[in-house]
Chain A
């Protein structure tokens, strides 16, 4: 049986064709008719429609894909790309923040530390995981695991997928700003390779708090932004409904991030988005991760750390004018 699906507005023409196809298949079985030609025609049309829609996705539509409730999450990639994952819980200070998961695992047979932001699939799980919005203790758990990785010489693989750090009273009282700042500072000089991949939402400082890395990768339909399109629209256009315009202006999609020099490589998703074929997505992810990790692992420690410093040091666009 097919799983219940969630259809985005712009995916609807595809859904209509799929339903037609299912209906045709059902009636041909019932009436013993040969409709293989018709079926083939619809299948072709589905591919054609998908290609057409996905060739001209707007930034805002990509944001919808990045937030698609059936999109693979960190734990899905951990299950698909890694073996022998041992989840390690808690910051040893306050509590276990389930919006960030992490632990040791094997990647292509070698031990690594994998850390990711994790959203929930159901309402119940989303409440437990706070919709993927980490609290300070999540960032402190991540730092604890990174320091452990440094001690045992394990590369760190970070999976970014958060709307942002949680804006709450408790988060402020336990100093979420400091938790993020300390992670950024410590990651800039952590003496093991770090590869960060934006798999869904790269929401501002909440994303950057586990995304200072030797290589920053991004899935084709993921986004990475200084502020959510809705937040930006509310501030600059005084109206959240201008989010599509903000998504366009902020240049948050994978292709723009490559142009701006923020990410190193884009991981291709299957036609229709990662959720339409998680296995194919995992395969292309594995290939890029493997290549990038082995390239960084070949560097001497000094070269790696100098490279990481320079990578972020040179980000920014300004001119020198004579006054």
Chain B
């Protein structure tokens, strides 16, 4: 029997989510090795395979907003603990650890700035902060970013990434879907443009609210985008999932999003769209 058993030495297991750390990173698609410094300089896109790693929210703002024009808003909002929630650790501890790890107070950075000269109100979600799950602060900051667009008569851009609603804030997280969507109704009725940029992954409660409501919806390549998680769908339906299910490419082919845009081209594309939609916006100073 022992002849066919596994060899005793163990294989080294690498958790995908733990990378990139250290000096170099392996492309999850091709196994290509790339130096972190090079990856950083390339906006976290692997040069050959063009695999898009998550980009930190502040770097995303650098990528999209003209140098020196970004003014951050609502940076001082922090979540309460309305449910006094504890799972493997208390929510307050989980928050503190996430804050220490990321240097951010919650999963959204928002503010105003110029995109190729055009004033915009922008909110960017940061997946490294508790999976960019949406609790009260995320909902509030996105709502304020939308309302700011309404006040200043400028377009609103939200760069989405999220595992969904933040369970630790329970039903209050669910209500952020209503809050953000209601604000978007007002923005839309005022004739102001809203562009949703979907990055890997954008799921569940975020997808079933502001991420799906863009006048234009743009996704980065090969992002996972959907409502229910693929594992849940597989377990519920006992069905094999189609190839590329819930990828950006899948959504584009089903007519659910407008474009797939490479990270390096994103700013140019956004600028063109904003230029086309500027009739209702305030004239740029």
Q: Is the CB of A313 within 8 A of B209?
A: no
Question: Is A212 on the interface with B (CB-CB < 8 A)?
Answer: yes
Q: Is the CB of A316 within 8 A of B171?
A: no
Question: Is B185 on the interface with A (CB-CB < 8 A)?
Answer: yes
Question: Is A318 on the interface with B (CB-CB < 8 A)?
Answer: yes
A319: contacting residue among B80, B175, B226, B237, CB under 8 A: B80
Per-position binary interface string of chain B over residues 137-151, scored 1 when its CB falls under 8 Å from any chain A CB and 0 otherwise:
101100100000000
Q: Known interface pairs A168-B233, A250-B167, A318-B136. Does A260 touch B172 (Cβ–Cβ under 8 Å)?
A: yes
Q: How far is the CA of A262 from the CA of B212 in the complex (A)?
A: 24
Per-position binary interface string of chain B over residues 148-175, scored 1 when its CB falls under 8 Å from any chain A CB and 0 otherwise:
0000000000000000010101111111
Q: Is the CB of A177 within 8 A of B212?
A: yes
Question: Is B83 on the interface with A (CB-CB < 8 A)?
Answer: yes
Which B206-245 residues sit within 8 Å CB-CB of chain A? 207-213, 226-229, 232-233, 236-237, 239, 241-242, 245
Kindly list chain A residues whose C-beta atoms are within 8 Å of the C-beta of B237: 167-169
Q: Known interface pairs A317-B80, A318-B80. Does A171 touch B179 (Cβ–Cβ under 8 Å)?
A: no
Q: Is the CB of B212 within 8 A of A178?
A: yes
Closest-CB distance, B109 to chain A (whole angstroms):
13
Kindly list chain A residues whose C-beta atoms are within 8 Å of the C-beta of B82: 260, 317
Question: Is A185 on the interface with B (CB-CB < 8 A)?
Answer: yes
Q: Known interface pairs A167-B232, A321-B76. Does A177 touch B179 (Cβ–Cβ under 8 Å)?
A: no
Q: How far is the CA of A236 from the CA of B88 in the complex (A)?
A: 7
Per-position binary interface string of chain B over residues 236-261, scored 1 when its CB falls under 8 Å from any chain A CB and 0 otherwise:
11010110011000000010100000
Residue of B nearest to A202 (CB): B171
Q: Is the CB of B136 within 8 A of A317?
A: yes
Question: Is A105 on the interface with B (CB-CB < 8 A)?
Answer: no
B182: contacting residue among A166, A167, A178, A309, CB under 8 A: A309
| Tally of B interface residues using CB under 8 Å | 65
Question: Is A235 on the interface with B (CB-CB < 8 A)?
Answer: yes
Q: How far is the CA of A2 from the CA of B85 in the complex (A)?
A: 44
Closest-CB distance, B138 to chain A (whole angstroms):
9
Kindly list chain A residues whose C-beta atoms are within 8 Å of the C-beta of B19: none
Q: How far is the CA of A89 from the CA of B213 in the complex (A)?
A: 26
Q: Is the CB of B78 within 8 A of A185?
A: no
Residue of A nearest to B229 (CB): A167
B172: contacting residue among A169, A171, A316, CB under 8 A: A316
Q: Is the CB of B178 within 8 A of A212?
A: yes
Max chain B Cβ within 10 angstroms of own Cβ: one of A224, A236, A308: A236
A315: contacting residue among B179, B212, B226, B256, CB under 8 A: B179
Q: How far is the CA of A242 from the CA of B213 in the complex (A)?
A: 35
Q: How far is the CA of A251 from the CA of B186 in the complex (A)?
A: 31
Q: Is the CB of B167 within 8 A of A226?
A: yes
B174: contacting residue among A205, A313, A322, CB under 8 A: A205
B177: contacting residue among A172, A175, A208, A262, CB under 8 A: A208
A interface residues (Cβ-Cβ under 8 A, vs B)? 165-169, 171-173, 175-178, 180-182, 184-186, 188-189, 204-205, 208-209, 212, 224-227, 231-232, 235-237, 249-252, 257, 260, 262, 308-309, 312-313, 315-323
12 pairs across A/B with beta carbons < 8 Å?
A172-B245, A184-B182, A185-B184, A185-B185, A188-B185, A189-B189, A226-B165, A226-B167, A226-B169, A231-B232, A252-B171, A320-B78
Ranked 7 nearest A-B pairs via Cβ: A167-B228, A316-B136, A188-B182, A317-B80, A236-B87, A177-B227, A315-B175
- Known: A167-B233, A226-B169; 9 extra A-B contacts, CB below 8 A, are A165-B227, A172-B233, A177-B207, A181-B212, A181-B213, A184-B208, A188-B181, A251-B83, A312-B182
